[in-house]
Amino acid sequence: MEKKLRINLHKVPRHVAVIMDGNGRWAKGKGMNRIFGHRNAMTAIRDTVDAAKEIGVEAVTMYAFSTENWNRPKLEVDALMNLLVSTLKKELPEFHKKHIQVSTIGDIISLPKKAQTILRTVISETKDYNGIKLVFALSYGSREEIVNAIKNISKKVVNNEIHLEEINEKVINNHLYTFNLPDVDLMIRTSGEKRISNYLLWQMAYAELYFTDILWPDFRMEHFYDAIIEYQNRERRFGKTSEQITVPKK
Q: 164, 146, 143: which is closest to 154 by C-alpha?
A: 164
Q: Is 223 annotated as a binding residue?
A: no
Please state, in angstroms and rounded to a whole number, the distance separating the CA atoms of residues 128 and 101: 7
130 noted as active-site residue = no
Please state, in angstroms and rounded to a whole number, the distance separating the CA atoms of residues 109 and 90: 22
Please state, in angstroms and rounded to a whole number, the distance separating the CA atoms of residues 242 and 192: 30
33 noted as active-site residue = no
What is residue 165's DSSP assignment? G
Q: Is 24 annotated as a binding residue?
A: yes
Q: Is 94 annotated as a binding residue?
A: no
CB atoms closer than 10 angstroms to residue 213: 10
Q: Is 196 annotated as a binding residue?
A: yes
Q: Is 117 annotated as a binding residue?
A: no
Q: Is 67 annotated as a binding residue?
A: yes
Q: Is 198 annotated as a binding residue?
A: no
Q: Is 192 annotated as a binding residue?
A: no
What radius of gyration do the chain's Cα atoms show?
Answer: 19
Question: What size, in residues, is the chain?
Answer: 250
Exactly one of 40, 69, 148, 173 is catalytic; name it: 69
- Which residues sit in the known binding site? 21-26, 34, 38, 66-68, 70, 72, 189, 195-197, 208
- Which residues sit in the known binding site for substrate? 22-26, 34, 38, 66-68, 70, 72, 189, 195-197
- Which residues sit in the known binding site for Mg(2+)? 21, 208
**Which residues are part of the catalytic machinery?**
21, 69
